[in-house]
């Protein structure tokens, strides 16, 4: 799409890029034309730029509706660093600060104002909005409007009614990273978007490496994992507060730089711990899912789930908090059957029967993900209705690991036969007991000792048989019906397979390579927005650490997160290009005129000092 000089100059001068990411130009063009839009774009695809660029070009103020205080602060800090006039209004402000910002808002001093959806419900703030020249309303994390979304927030449903009261309804731009077809429909209907331009750029995060592990000792695995990645910034998600506290204490005792976050902590401590992680005073944060939505930290290098999440939407969103800068990031899920019990307990707390039924269906999809032998990336994308053409992505545990294919054709036939002969009325526990020949009271009362499948698999443990059943479910041969007490049944695919005589194998990892592969990305433009996944040599790593130290010092002086100064991707691009002039520094991804003027000489000094110490360079 062709833009006028002002749009491209804004992209370069403020954000330091010469080109847009996929879909950004299309969305921005429609917004500037005054259309309503819905952008479904993965984390790291640059959704915020889709409303920030128009906000800096259009006459008037853009209102950004955002769900969390931390997100507002990070976004405003970043915009202020770029020289843009932005502010946020939320409960963290003092009365004096609120009055000052409100007065400036009325006079049109800000190009962007971030607010929480609850703020719209206040009559006093509605009066402020009515007196403003509003150019655009951007609704971030728009999936919060749907009860089918994983972060449902009732106040989002009142947005449309409040906007309808304005003297003139402005264009509305809604954005989310995760939206099933049902959630997408909810967003359009409940915001009453007018003939919206809908863009789905895809859900693939090619820089994320996905893996599922089933260790006998999760903490032992975690400790070994952190031996490789613990120096990087990362999140460890746990399903309960108790697990968070336990893991946090163990890691602290082992000397790791970590903090913790969950809703049971005092608010002051919770916010302090979050700030410590964002400002890189702690490398690792151990947290429940209460942490993370709206966290704009760009350089998270690993996300490890100590427990299986309830849904793939949750997992995709949480894992997607890593690698926002486009750099290689590892996402590992540690699975155990106990995770199923925990999630069922969480589902049963305070939900209607209908909602629980839907949650159980989503939980089963999550369980299937943990057991599939096929490409993990492909599984995730298909869940969101997107096809992934290659059979193997080359950047997930299923595609990357060296595996042994174990033939379970005969075992699968026995399992399917047992499900059928028990009347398709029981779950995996009963089926496994019958196959093992367990002489329980229930089996005797049901007469299952007389079945031809009774005792057909005595050589397998119950957990082994359950694993094979889960694999058959994941492969689409067995259906799971019901909620808290799921029932197994055969489907048409099962009968077709039984007739076909085809072999079925289960993948078992027998060896891992020494490090995770990462996709190289599609960054052909020297000033593309996603950083190249650059493996630094030893000398470049020395320079990278020196640049990080300078960045940390500047961030400390200005009380902003280090990544707000420059992202890791920008620092790595500096290490690759080694600019020694302001003109050359402008060719680095993420360096615009404003940041060049503000920080250029400090970074050039560090680069030159590094090169002078190395005899391989000649200035």
Q: In this predicted model, what pLDDT tens digit does every residue of 530-587 receive, in sequence order?
A: 333 446 777 888 999 999 999 999 999 988 889 889 999 899 999 999 999 999 999 9
Q: Tokens 């443990």, residue?
A: 461
- Measured CA to CA in angstroms, residue 281 lies from 233, 258, 299, 562 at distances of 10, 9, 14, 10
Q: In this predicted model, what pLDDT tens digit does every residue of 55-75 receive, in sequence order?
A: 999 999 999 998 877 778 888
208-399 fold: Rossmann fold (3.40.50)
| pLDDT for position 605 | 95
- Express as a percent the part of the chain with pLDDT over 70: 91
| pLDDT for position 525 | 33
Class at the top of the CATH hierarchy for domain 538-613 = mainly alpha
Given a cut of 60, is residue 523 above it in pLDDT?
A: no
Domain with CATH 1.10.10.10 in the chain: 405-511
Between residues 526 and 248, the one the model is more confident about: 248
Given a cut of 70, is residue 402 above it in pLDDT?
A: no
Total residue length of the chain: 619
| pLDDT for position 438 | 93
Highest mean pLDDT among 130-139, 285-294, 484-493, 513-522: 130-139
Alpha-carbon distance of 468 to 227, in angstroms, equals 32
Given a cut of 80, is residue 618 above it in pLDDT?
A: no
Lowest-pLDDT choice from 179-188, 310-319, 433-442, 457-466: 179-188
Domain with CATH 3.40.50.300 in the chain: 5-200, 208-399
Structure tokens at 535: 């493996």
Structure tokens at 212: 């599922």
DSSP 8-state code for residue 322: S
Given a cut of 70, is residue 517 above it in pLDDT?
A: no
Q: In this predicted model, what pLDDT tens digit does every residue of 73-89 receive, in sequence order?
A: 888 988 998 889 999 99
CATH number of 405-511: 1.10.10.10
Residue range 185-191: average pLDDT? 92
Alpha-carbon distance of 349 to 1, in angstroms, equals 50
- Express as a percent the part of the chain with pLDDT over 90: 53
| pLDDT for position 457 | 94
Bridge partners, residue 208, by sequence: 329
CATH number of 5-200: 3.40.50.300
Alpha-carbon distance of 365 to 382, in angstroms, equals 11
453 contacts 331 by C-beta, under 8 angstroms: no
Residue range 313-337: average pLDDT? 91
Domain with CATH 1.10.150.80 in the chain: 538-613
- Among candidate residues 433, 436, 407, the one with its CA nearest the CA of residue 488: 433
Given a cut of 90, is residue 442 above it in pLDDT?
A: yes
Cβ-proximal residues to 442 (8 Å cutoff; 6+ apart), any chain: 430
| pLDDT for position 291 | 86
Average pLDDT along the chain: 87
Q: In this predicted model, what pLDDT tens digit does every residue of 338-388 receive, in sequence order?
A: 888 788 777 777 556 656 778 888 888 998 899 887 899 999 998 888 876
For 210, the 3-state DSSP assignment is strand
Q: Tokens 């020395």, residue?
A: 542
Beta strands in 492-533 (DSSP E): 505-511
State the maximum Cα–Cα separation within the chain, in Å, rounded to a whole number.
87
- β-pairing, 478-481 with 487-490? antiparallel
- Measured CA to CA in angstroms, residue 603 lies from 234, 606, 610 at distances of 26, 5, 11
Q: Which pTM was predicted?
A: 0.75
User: If pLDDT is split at 50, 70 and 90, which confidence band does 329 have?
Assistant: very high
Residue range 414-423: average pLDDT? 95
DSSP 8-state code for residue 170: P
């Amino acid at each position: 799409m062709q833009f006028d000089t002002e749009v491209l100059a804004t992209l370069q001068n403020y954000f330091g890029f010469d080109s847009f990411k996929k879909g950004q130009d299309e969305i921005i063009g429609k917004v500037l034309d005054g259309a309503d839009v819905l952008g479904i774009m993965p984390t790291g695809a640059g959704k915020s730029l889709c409303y920030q660029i128009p906000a800096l070009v259009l006459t008037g103020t853009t209102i950004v509706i955002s769900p969390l205080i931390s997100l507002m602060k990070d976004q405003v800090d970043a915009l202020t660093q770029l020289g843009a006039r932005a502010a946020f209004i939320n409960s963290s402000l003092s009365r004096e600060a609120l009055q000052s910002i409100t007065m400036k808002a009325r006079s049109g001093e800000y190009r962007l104002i971030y607010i929480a959806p609850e703020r719209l419900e206040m009559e006093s703030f509605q009066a402020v909005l009515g007196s403003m020249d509003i150019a655009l309303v951007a609704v971030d994390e728009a999936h919060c409007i749907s009860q089918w979304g994983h972060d449902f927030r009732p106040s989002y449903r009142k947005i449309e009614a409040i906007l309808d009261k304005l003297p003139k309804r402005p264009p509305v731009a809604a954005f989310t990273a995760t939206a099933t077809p049902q959630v997408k429909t909810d967003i359009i209907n409940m915001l009453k978007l007018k003939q919206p331009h809908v863009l789905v750029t895809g859900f693939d995060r090619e820089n994320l490496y996905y893996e599922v592990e089933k260790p006998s000792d999760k903490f032992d695995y975690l400790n070994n994992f952190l031996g490789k990645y613990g120096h990087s910034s990362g999140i460890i998600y746990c399903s309960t507060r108790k697990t968070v506290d336990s893991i946090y204490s163990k890691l602290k005792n082992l000397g790791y730089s970590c903090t913790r976050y969950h809703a049971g902590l005092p608010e002051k401590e919770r916010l302090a711990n979050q700030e410590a992680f964002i400002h890189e005073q702690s490398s690792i944060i151990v947290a429940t899912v209460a942490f993370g939505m709206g966290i704009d930290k760009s350089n998270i290098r690993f996300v490890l789930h100590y427990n299986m999440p309830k849904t793939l939407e949750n997992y995709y969103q949480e894992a997607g908090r890593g690698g926002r800068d486009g750099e290689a990031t590892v996402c590992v899920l540690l699975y155990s059957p106990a995770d199923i019990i925990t999630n069922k307990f969480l589902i049963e707390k305070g939900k209607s029967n209908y909602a629980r039924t839907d949650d159980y269906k989503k939980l089963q999809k999550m369980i299937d993900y943990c057991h599939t032998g096929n490409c993990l990336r492909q599984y995730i994308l298909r869940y969101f209705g997107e096809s992934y053409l290659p059979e193997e992505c080359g950047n997930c545990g299923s595609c990357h690991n060296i595996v042994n294919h174990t033939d379970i054709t005969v075992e699968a036939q026995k399992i399917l036969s047992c499900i059928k002969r028990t009347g398709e009325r029981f779950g995996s526990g009963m089926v496994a007991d019958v196959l093992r020949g367990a002489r329980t009271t229930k089996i005797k009362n049901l007469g299952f000792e007389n079945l031809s499948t009774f005792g057909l698999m005595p050589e397998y443990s119950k957990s082994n048989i359950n694993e094979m059943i889960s694999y058959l479910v994941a492969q689409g041969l067995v259906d799971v019906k019901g909620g808290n007490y799921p029932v197994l049944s055969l489907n048409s695919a099962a009968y077709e397979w039984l007739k076909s005589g085809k072999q079925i194998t289960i993948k078992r990892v027998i060896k891992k390579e020494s490090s995770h592969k990462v996709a190289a990305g599609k960054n052909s433009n020297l000033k593309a927005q996603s950083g190249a996944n650059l493996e630094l040599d030893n000398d470049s790593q020395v320079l990278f650490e020196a640049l990080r130290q300078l960045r940390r010092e500047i961030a400390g002086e200005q009380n902003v997160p280090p990544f707000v100064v420059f992202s890791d991707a920008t620092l790595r691009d500096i290490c690759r290009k080694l600019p020694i002039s302001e003109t050359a520094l402008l060719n680095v991804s993420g360096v615009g005129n404003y940041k060049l003027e503000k920080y250029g000489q400090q970074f050039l000094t560090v680069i030159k000092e590094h090169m002078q110490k190395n005899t391989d360079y000649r200035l």
